[in-house]
Amino acid sequence: MAVFAREIIGREVVDSHSVLLGTLRDIVFDKQSGSISGIRVKVEQDIDPTVLPWEMIEGLMQIPVDEVSRIASRVHLKR
């Protein structure tokens, strides 16, 4: 898992219309199961995070893993 995490940290995160939301900064794991529960994104400066449906925690937007559509050269969200 550590190799996978290092490979995707720093990738751009885009919405379903390929609009840049920000950069992947961290992966959140469920402590009990060990599975990925979400991602944390550094939001672009020109985006108002208060209009987005996800929570800001310590300056990063926390997005549940079920909102991720796919991971390729960029992280694609479902909406």
Q: What is the pLDDT of residue 3?
A: 56
What would the pLDDT profile of 5-58 be if each residue is shown by its tens digit?
789 999 999 999 999 999 999 999 999 998 999 999 999 999 999 999 999 999
Query: Can you list the domains of the chain with their CATH numbers?
Result: 2-77 (2.30.30.240)
Distances (CA, A) of 14 to 2, 33, 56, 65, 70: 23, 27, 17, 14, 10
Rounded to 5 degrees, φ, ψ at 51 are: -95, 0
The residue type found at 32 is Q
Which pLDDT value is given to residue 2?
A: 58
